[in-house]
Amino acid sequence: MMAFYVRHADLQAAGPLSARDLEKAAALTGVYGLLLLGSVLVGKPVTVVLLTNMYAKSPEQRARMKQSLQASGVHRHVLVLTTMWGIGLLLMLAISVLLTYTLPIATVVLIRPVIDYGVIAALVAGTAAYGSVILRVRQRRQQGGNVTRPENNPAGEPGWRPPGAHPRSTPLPPLP
C-alpha cells in the first residue's frame, strides 16, 4: 500500500495524472487479492508461508509451525481469513477502477486514500470480529464438553442438563 502512495507522489510530481496511471497503481492491490484467493484455491494459504517465514528462525521451527497450523483447526480459519482479505482487496481494486472512470482525476487522487484506508480498516475489524467469534465458539465447546460428561452429573438425575444449556438439548424422557 505504501508503494501505491509513493507512486502517486512520484506521478503527481512528474505532471498531470491520467486514468491509466491510476489503473496501474491500483493493479498491485488486485494482484495481491488474486494471489491470496489463488493460494486458498490451492489449499495452501500464502499467509501461512508469510507467517512462518517471519516468525520462525530455523528450518525446524518453520516445519513445526507449518505442521501445527495445518494439523489443528486453525488451517480452516486461516483459509477463511485469507479468502476474506483476498475478496476485500479485489473489492478495493474494483472501487478504484470505478472511481477512476467516473470521477475527475483530481477528485480520485483525494478520495482514494480514504477509501483504501476504510477498506483496510474494515478488513482488520472483520478479522478481529471473526477471531472473537471463534474464541467464543471454542470456549462454549470446551465448557459444553466438560459439563455434559456423565461424571459431572454425580446424582445421575434424568433430564439433568449443564448450566446454560438450551432446554431442547436434553433428550425427552421415554413415554410410559
pLDDT confidence of residue 38: 93
Q: Return phi, psi of residue 92, to 5°.
A: -65, -40
For residue 129 the three cell numbers come to 470480529
CA 119 to chain centre: 13
- What is the pLDDT at residue 148? 47
How do the pLDDT tens digits run along the chain, 176 residues long?
455 555 555 545 555 667 677 777 788 888 999 999 999 999 888 888 888 888 878 888 888 887 777 766 778 888 899 999 999 999 999 998 898 889 888 888 889 889 999 999 999 999 999 988 888 887 777 776 544 455 555 555 555 555 555 555 445 555 55
CATH topology of domain 20-144: 3 helical TM bundles of succinate and fumarate reductases (1.20.1300)
**Cα 36 from Cα 40, distance rounded (Å):** 6
- In one-letter notation, the amino acid at residue 23 is E
Q: What is the pLDDT of residue 146?
A: 47
CB 92, CB 36: distance < 8 Å: no
* pLDDT computed for residue 162 by the predictor: 58
- pTM for this structure? 0.67
